[in-house]
């Protein structure tokens, strides 16, 4: 029990009690009472963003880079609805964030009051849970529950909508000593019998593969995964969300599966007799046509969320539990089996996989007109920045190249919008990551289309000492859409030209734009300048840097499994498919 205070003061105290240190947000009428005591908090750093979408993605970037809950704040109505995209994004990619929104006074709720939006109703299907608080006494408990729900089990976004009168009313602060949430008790301990059954299948399999998803990163289970892989000798594929969960340079890593995955990773899943899915959800971008996906594979499916198991693909051995615990138990069980001489024999399988990876390595064409290959730029960016750099990507071709051509060695170094595919994610996510990990080099690898959706946060970065680096892979078009137009719409480029590079009109000029935002603006158009420009950017640490890399606009992302087709139809270059008969055993 404490002295009487306002609901707003109680909210600030509650946020402090959760250990929060940073809030990204924008004030407005309904949330204004909360901003007053926030002004006095010595623990909470509020970062004033330029658009609420930026606040939401920054909270995601902060959460993904640190493993802690990211926090964003907005006012009612348009402030809250601007958070919808990042909330949906966090839901799809299981990112723990708490969004606090102001709501119109409780007496006005339901009257179409000024700046009223039913944000609870709107976000119902895209939050792990959401609350509307109209009683000031309930603010601390609700905040405590929101953080607990966001961070535990399968992480995700939680929204706390608080009416203005609750923020203004007098209350006392009572922090709950314990939380009892009937109906919410995530299963974290895997079932021993299921783990034993999984171990048996792994030892007996001839063509097994570890299909690793983003859950392994969220569960911080990379060490356990490595132990499992090295104990068993199993091949590993890491999905777009799991890049960094297993070192790219590890000899057992076959790369990324899916629509733009490596032939070896896609082929490994297709031809396997046992898929061990760890924190992965058989997303359509990974499976291609489900009815022809991995036709001969039995499935062990381990996930913290029971709703994922059997959703897209029947599981022969379902295991519900935390990935770190599940993989840890699998290691212990398989080690005991190995001591009894029971180990898998995957030598013939590795012959197939090694042949696939040497026959179909990732590659790209160098343009013969002297223009820059985007893949080259991105691979140099990765090489010069090193394995500790954090890379946040936008959505499109540059995202896929950043997933393919940068080696990720550590979890938490690759941030992207995998599930929702949100253009505009990169700059604010990089901002959030840099706030959470100020000592890390943080890049946003962005497209010229994506960058124009959220680059206003450069102002936030410049003013708040958040020196991120942005590489705009400027192909002067909505490149990924243009690629589909090239391949599937007879090269009819309807509404994909953005006019952002020199042979056209260069609107906007990204280097000048960066300058206008108080950042260093650089441009690079030739192979000879790539390393020097990157080095220059890496040397700037007192303010944000933007490099406009003007690249060849006809570069395409390969390999590709076209939407609606099966993984067997993967092409490693245009009209070039693997010869599966020859490449199989
Ligand atoms: C908010 C949003 N709108 C539209 C799309 C559809 N879309 C996917 S990729 C893409 C093009 C992205 O262009 P750019 O940022 O220039 O990246 P590039 O593909 O050229 O690397 C579009 C429009 C999307 N994913 N997100």
Residues 301, 65: Cα–Cα separation, whole Å: 26
450 lines ligand 1 (CB under 6 A): yes
**pLDDT attached to residue 581:** 73
| Residue of 445, 451, 478 with the most ligand 1 atoms within 8 Å of its CB, for mutation | 478
Residues 499, 479: Cα–Cα separation, whole Å: 12
User: In whole angstroms, how far apart are CA 553 and each of 109, 369, 556?
Assistant: 51, 12, 9
Residues 362, 353: Cα–Cα separation, whole Å: 14
86 lines ligand 1 (CB under 6 A): no
What is the rounded end-to-end Cα distance, in angstroms, of the chain? Answer: 71
- Residues annotated as part of the active site: 52, 114-115, 164, 480
481 lines ligand 1 (CB under 6 A): yes
| Residue of 85, 88, 364, 396 with the most ligand 1 atoms within 8 Å of its CB, for mutation | 396
CA 450 to ligand 1 center in whole angstroms: 6
CA 193 to ligand 1 center in whole angstroms: 45
Residue with CA closest to ligand 1 atom 8: 396
423 lines ligand 1 (CB under 6 A): yes
DSSP helix, strand, coil percent of the chain (3-state; round to 5): 40, 15, 40
| Residue of 449, 452, 497 with the most ligand 1 atoms within 8 Å of its CB, for mutation | 449
Question: What is the token pair recorded at 530?
Answer: 């790539």
262 lines ligand 1 (CB under 6 A): no
User: In whole angstroms, how far apart are CA 20 and each of 59, 133, 254, 256?
Assistant: 11, 20, 38, 34
CA 108 to ligand 1 center in whole angstroms: 39
Q: How many CB atoms are located within 10 Å of the residue 299 CB?
A: 21
**pLDDT attached to residue 1:** 58
Query: How many helices and strands, by DSSP H and E, does the chain display?
Result: 24, 19
473 lines ligand 1 (CB under 6 A): yes
421 lines ligand 1 (CB under 6 A): yes
Residue with CA closest to ligand 1 atom 5: 423
Residue with CA closest to ligand 1 atom 20: 479
213 lines ligand 1 (CB under 6 A): no
Give the helix ranges, DSSP H, for 171-260. Answer: 192-204, 214-218, 222-232
Question: What is the token pair recorded at 152?
Answer: 């535990």
CA 482 to ligand 1 center in whole angstroms: 10
pLDDT means per 10 residues, the chain with 585 residues, are: 91 98 98 98 98 99 98 98 99 98 98 98 98 98 98 98 98 96 95 98 98 98 98 98 98 98 97 98 96 97 98 98 98 98 97 97 92 97 98 98 98 98 99 98 98 98 98 98 97 96 86 98 97 98 98 96 93 89 60
Q: Nearest 5°: phi and psi at 70?
A: -90, 145
Q: Do residues 50 and 455 make contact, with C-beta atoms less than 8 angstroms apart?
A: no
CA 357 to ligand 1 center in whole angstroms: 30
Tokens 């994610």 locate to 425
């Amino acid at each position: 029990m404490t002295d009487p205070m306002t609901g707003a003061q109680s909210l600030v105290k509650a946020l402090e009690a959760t250990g929060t240190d940073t809030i990204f947000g924008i004030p407005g009428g309904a949330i204004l009472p909360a901003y007053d005591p926030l002004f006095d908090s010595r623990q909470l750093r509020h970062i004033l963003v330029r658009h609420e979408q930026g606040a939401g993605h920054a909270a995601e970037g902060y959460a993904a880079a640190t493993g802690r809950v990211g926090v964003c704040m907005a006012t009612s109505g348009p402030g809250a609805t601007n958070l919808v995209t990042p909330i949906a994004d966090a839901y799809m990619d299981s990112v723990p964030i708490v969004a606090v929104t102001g709501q119109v006074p409780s007496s006005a709720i339901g009257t179409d009051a000024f700046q009223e939006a039913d944000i609870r109703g709107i976000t119902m299907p895209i939050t792990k849970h959401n609350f509307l608080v109209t009683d000031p006494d309930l603010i601390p408990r609700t905040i405590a529950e929101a953080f607990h729900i966001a961070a535990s089990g399968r992480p995700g976004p939680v929204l706390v909508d608080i009416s203005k009168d609750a923020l203004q009313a007098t209350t006392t602060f009572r922090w709950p000593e314990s939380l009892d949430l009937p109906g919410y008790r995530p299963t974290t301990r895997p079932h021993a019998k299921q783990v034993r059954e999984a171990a048996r299948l792994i030892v007996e399999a001839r063509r097994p593969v570890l299909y690793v998803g983003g859950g392994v990163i969220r569960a911080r289970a990379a060490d356990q995964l490595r132990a499992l892989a090295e104990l068993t000798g199993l091949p590993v594929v890491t999905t777009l969300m799991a890049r960094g969960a297993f070192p790219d340079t590890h000899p057992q890593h076959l790369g990324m599966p899916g629509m733009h995955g490596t032939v070896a990773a896609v082929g490994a899943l297709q031809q396997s007799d046992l898929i061990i899915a760890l924190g992965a959800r058989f997303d359509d971008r990974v499976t291609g046509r489900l009815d022809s996906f991995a036709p001969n594979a039995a499935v062990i499916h381990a996930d913290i969320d029971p709703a994922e198991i059997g959703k897209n693909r029947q599981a022969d051995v379902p295991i519900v539990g935390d990935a770190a615990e599940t993989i840890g138990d699998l290691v212990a069980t398989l080690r005991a089996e190995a001591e009894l001489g029971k180990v898998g024999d995957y030598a013939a399988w590795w012959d197939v996989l090694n042949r696939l990876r040497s026959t179909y390595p990732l590659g790209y064409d160098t343009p013969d007109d002297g223009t820059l290959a985007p893949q080259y730029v991105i691979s140099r960016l990765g090489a010069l920045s090193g394995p500790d750099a954090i890379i946040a990507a936008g959505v499109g071709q540059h995202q896929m190249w950043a997933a393919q051509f940068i080696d990720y060695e550590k979890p938490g170094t690759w941030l992207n919008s995998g599930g929702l595919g949100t253009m505009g994610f990169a700059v604010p996510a990089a901002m959030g990551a840099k706030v959470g990990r100020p000592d890390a080099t943080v890049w946003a690898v962005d497209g010229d289309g994506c960058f124009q959706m959220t680059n206003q946060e450069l102002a936030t970065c410049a003013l708040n000492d958040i020196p991120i680096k942005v590489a705009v892979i400027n192909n002067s078009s909505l490149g990924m859409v243009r690629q589909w137009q090239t391949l599937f719409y007879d090269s009819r480029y309807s509404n994909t030209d953005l006019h952002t590079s020199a042979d056209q009109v260069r609107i906007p000029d990204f280097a000048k734009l960066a300058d206008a935002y108080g950042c260093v603006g650089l441009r690079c158009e030739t192979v000879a300048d790539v390393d020097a420009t990157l080095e220059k950017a890496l040397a700037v640490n007192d303010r944000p840097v933007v490099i406009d890399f003007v690249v060849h606009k006809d570069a395409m992302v390969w390999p590709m499994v076209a939407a609606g087709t099966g993984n067997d139809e993967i092409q490693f270059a245009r009209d070039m498919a693997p010869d599966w008969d020859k490449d199989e055993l």
